[in-house]
Amino acid sequence: MELDTLKKVIDKDKQAILKLIDRSAHKEAEDISSIWRDAIQFLSFVKDLSIESLLNIRLHTGFITGVPWFKHAHQPYRLWSDEEKESLPIVKNYFRLVRDIPSEICCSEPVSSPLIESVGVRYQGNLISDDLVRYQRCISNLYRIGVFDESNYSDGHTTIVEIGGGYGAVAHHISAISEANLRLTYFIVDLPEMLMWSYLYLRINNPDKKIFIYNPEESGSFLSSGEYADYDFVLFSNLDARDLKKLSKVDHVINLLSFQEMEESQVRNYLEILSPILEGYFYSENFSKHWMNSELNVALSEIYSDYFDLFPEPAQYGDKIIGANSEENSDKLWSLFTFACIKKERTFSGNEKLVTSNGVFFK
């Protein structure tokens, strides 16, 4: 897509997201946790970036993830051979996540401009960053539990819902992997201010894919008619999450480092909306609770257990999960816990495997 054409598309779609932001500004404060009420004040600048700056949007995402783009930019090891780079912690972590999966499941940072090469290290042709390693862990695990296996979808179409899409990187990678053998529609449900980030990142890196911005005041029967299946990505304001009930089914739900920053009532609201129509896995990578989040007073695994069977079971994490993510336990402050969950009336295949930051688990 030519740059002038891309700019026109982005300008038009930005107006649609700004409408969602305007709607959100008039809603009650309980629709957003206090952590995010503060955070979005620092992130609104993205809507004002020029098209030239947006080609480098990946250089701005550290405001969301906390990882600066220049961490690896001026390091001599970027010039090393692949063999030499295998001694680097970032490459060791990446290799640990991909050594038992096919090459087409191995992710690489998309390069929308030459400057993006600075965000990481090239290894075996893939551009690896700290963000990418975290996303690769999720995607490798999704592969291991069968999310990318087309034989698991009888109607030939797959619907994935991610609650809290960050800047859209996981959506991008899953969509890219699925192109070969799945017809995928990927929903992102998030604060409208964050949908602006997801949209811009996805559009810059996927100029020819179809993105729909859902607005209940304008979208009519988009969900109930199945029209959404014609789109690659659907962006959904958190205020409209209940409209997801209009979907006949959702194959999988993903939540990464998001539920930990919500109120318990908000987490339960999402699970009550999506669990009845969920046919596959609910995949979660979160702290038990974020130590700064005073509005979540119970471990997420306890909430999940009211709706799902969990793999691994929380007890399998042993002492690592007891008292985790508490100010009083500084050694466990940033411990991350991964779960693949299914509805209680279903059964696990028995072949599940998860590689987590706290060990490897087999069903």
The pLDDT > 70 percentage for the chain reads: 97
Cα–Cα–Cα angle for 114, 129, 115, rounded to 5 degrees: 15
Q: In this predicted structure, what is the pLDDT of residue 138?
A: 98
Q: In this predicted structure, what is the pLDDT of residue 330?
A: 67
For the segment 47-68, what is each residue's pLDDT rounded down to a tens digit?
Answer: 999 999 999 999 999 999 999 9
CA distance 93 to 106: 13
DSSP annotation string for 213-268: E--TTT-TTTTTTTGGGG-SEEEEEGGGGGGGGGSS-BSEEEEES-GGGS-HHHHH
How is residue 268 written in tokens? 């339960």
Q: Is the dihedral of CA 159, 160, 165, 167 positive or negative?
A: negative
How is residue 331 written in tokens? 């050694």
Instruction: Tell which residue, 150, 58, 61, has the closest CA to residue 113.
Output: 58
Residues with Cβ within 8 Å of residue 127, at least 6 apart in sequence:
108, 109, 111, 116, 117, 119, 120, 121
The answer to whether residue 29 scores a pLDDT higher than 70 is: no
CA distance 321 to 204: 39
Q: What is the average pLDDT score of the chain?
A: 93
pTM attached to this predicted model: 0.95
Q: In this predicted structure, what is the pLDDT of residue 110?
A: 98
How is residue 214 written in tokens? 């859902």
Q: Where are the beta strands (DSSP E) in the chain?
A: 121-123, 126-128, 157-163, 183-190, 211-213, 233-237, 252-256, 282-286, 308-311, 337-343, 353-356, 359-362
pLDDT band for position 328 (cuts 50, 70, 90): confident
Q: In this predicted structure, what is the pLDDT of residue 59?
A: 97
Strands 252-256, 233-237: pairing kind: unpaired
Q: In this predicted structure, what is the pLDDT of residue 321?
A: 83
Number of H helices, E strands in the chain: 11, 12
Q: In this predicted structure, what is the pLDDT of residue 88?
A: 98
Q: What radius of gyration do the chain's Cα atoms show? A: 20
Strands 282-286, 233-237: pairing kind: unpaired
pLDDT band for position 231 (cuts 50, 70, 90): very high
Residues with Cβ within 8 Å of residue 246, at least 6 apart in sequence:
223, 224
- The residue-averaged pLDDT of 23-38 equals 71
- The residue-averaged pLDDT of 143-168 equals 93
Instruction: Tell which residue, 109, 168, 163, has the closest CA to residue 136.
Output: 109
For the segment 235-272, what is each residue's pLDDT rounded down to a tens digit?
Answer: 999 999 999 999 999 999 999 999 999 999 999 999 99
Q: In this predicted structure, what is the pLDDT of residue 290?
A: 83
The backbone region for 88, taken as left when phi is positive above 0, alpha when psi lies in -120 to 50, beta otherwise, is: beta
For the segment 65-108, what is each residue's pLDDT rounded down to a tens digit?
Answer: 999 999 999 999 999 999 999 999 999 999 999 999 999 999 99
